[in-house]
Amino acid sequence: MQNLKYDNWPKSLNNTTRTGCRFLIMLDSRNNYSTNNNNISKTDWSVALGRKGPLLPAHRLANLYMNKGKDITAVEVNKVLAFSGIKITQSMLDKILNRPRLDFSNLDSNTTRSDNFLQTVGAVRGKIQIPGVYIWTHLSTGDMYVGSSSTLARRLIGYFNGTHKNTGKLIPLIKREGIGAFKLQVIPLIEEYTVNQELSLEQYFLLQSEFNLNTLKVVNNFSGARAKPLYMYTKDLSELIYSSEIQEDFIFKLRIHHNIFSNSLKTGAYYLGKYIFTDKPIVGARESNMTETAINTMLDKDRVEVQSSKSRKVLIKAVDGNNTKLFDSISSCITYLNSIAPSNKTTLYRHIISGKPYHGYICQWVSELTTPIVDKGVQVNVTHVPSDTTVTYPSIRKAALSFAPEYITTGPTIKAFAENGKLFKGEYKIAIISE
């Protein structure tokens, strides 16, 4: 085994940090990829912004490489991670893969306190934290999981202590069968280490089909909100329409407001009555392979249909409750609101979604209203289960508004939780009662 004494570790490990830089994957007519930089041409910017040319999301590239069954090289790794700006050379990848690995078997609660673990991986509270990659192998099935961390000891102790969130395939399996049902292999990155090198190595393994306990095939532990993956499917989850490792792409490329997909993620609400958003890929769903231009054209058509639909009337009610008006379309509503203060459709859409007042009015689609919402004979009990306190509201709408600004919700959501009996935000019991 190589010498892992503290004296041999580079000083740069003391202050390593993860950085997530936003890069876009672009496919040109020669099937060559590049990342955006200061020298990018106007033509390339058109492709990057989705104005022309096809884009290949990172997860789709990963699946493409896996399905080809060919050897994975640094070229494939770098293309998948192009959106992040992280790169690795083939020579460095070969060096890392040929280095000795640390094997731990007969795992139990004492493993992380053993001399072997402490001397090679390190201690949780150690002054120097070793970055690297770890591989779990399920002994009875051979199923594998790969992960990485810039602080291996701290990450691994969470598996042994059971403190990681119960998500994905690996954690529930460990909690069911115990840590002794696995063996652990660790690849510490000490020699010639560069920041985020562990992510490149993890991505290399993720492109190997044997790592079937990983639900995501693109590394996703970059810092910052820009690195949150998002997927848009048809509402039956049978077809993937669009995805990105950066949620902002939905805002700036598809012109979908953040509140829309955030609400869909929280409540399962449909967008334009046809689409739904998830933060994880759906296994078995087919991919549309539509260009961004085609998707925008389709969404624009859907938006027009929704706006022109007779059911999309707009009801506005003054916050003080003294004035209620019904409009046949959003255009006629905007005409009225302009008589009060400058107004536009985009802002009105946003206030309808969030439930926040606009020019002194609460605005809502009539198609989203039900009789109980406008029926004065309906009351809503909201019980905070942990404290066993109940507040009664005179309408579903007022019950929904009571959660703002901590929880932005709508009347239909409150009604749905009342009907299905589930706890809203895991804490509130909703009950609709009649006078």
Shared-domain flag, residues 119 and 243: no
**pLDDT tier at 312 (50, 70, 90 boundaries)?**
low
The reported pLDDT for the residue numbered 88 is 95
Shared-domain flag, residues 84 and 157: yes
The predicted model gives 118-134 an average pLDDT of 87
How far apart CA 79 and CA 35 sit, in angstroms, is: 9
Shared-domain flag, residues 15 and 115: yes
The reported pLDDT for the residue numbered 163 is 86
Q: Look at residue 22 and tell me whether its pLDDT is greater than 80.
A: no
Which of 260, 290, 308 is where one domain is finished? Answer: 308
Q: Look at residue 223 and tell me whether its pLDDT is greater than 80.
A: no
How many domains does the chain divide into? Answer: 4
Shared-domain flag, residues 182 and 250: no
Shared-domain flag, residues 64 and 179: yes
- Backbone conformation region of residue 237, classed left if phi is above 0, alpha if psi is from -120 to 50, else beta: left
Please name the residues in contact with 135: beta carbons below 8 A apart, sequence gap of 6 or more. Answer: 144, 145, 146, 184, 185, 186, 187, 205
Q: Look at residue 4 and tell me whether its pLDDT is greater than 60.
A: no
Shared-domain flag, residues 177 and 56: yes
Shared-domain flag, residues 130 and 181: yes
Q: Look at residue 309 and tell me whether its pLDDT is greater than 80.
A: no
Which of 201, 224, 247 is where one domain is finished? Answer: 224
Shared-domain flag, residues 240 and 92: no
Shared-domain flag, residues 411 and 359: no
Decide which of 229 and 412 is more confident: 229
- Integer angstrom CA distances of residue 250 from 9, 231, 275, 277: 42, 9, 13, 11
Q: Look at residue 64 and tell me whether its pLDDT is greater than 90.
A: no
Tokens of 351: 């206030």
The reported pLDDT for the residue numbered 398 is 74
Q: Look at residue 8 and tell me whether its pLDDT is greater than 70.
A: no
Which of 368, 392, 408 is where one domain is finished? Answer: 368
Highest mean pLDDT among 29-43, 159-173, 357-371: 159-173
Shared-domain flag, residues 5 and 149: yes
Q: Look at residue 388 and tell me whether its pLDDT is greater than 50.
A: yes
Residue 143's domain is classified under what CATH number? 3.40.1440.10
144-197: pLDDT as tens digits: 999 999 889 989 999 999 888 888 899 999 999 999 999 999 999 988 999 889
Tokens of 303: 């938006």
Shared-domain flag, residues 133 and 209: yes
The reported pLDDT for the residue numbered 98 is 93
- Residue 219 is part of which domain span? 1-224
How far apart CA 287 and CA 239 sit, in angstroms, is: 6
Q: Is there a contact between 4 and 132 (Cβ–Cβ < 8 Å)?
A: no
Shared-domain flag, residues 178 and 236: no
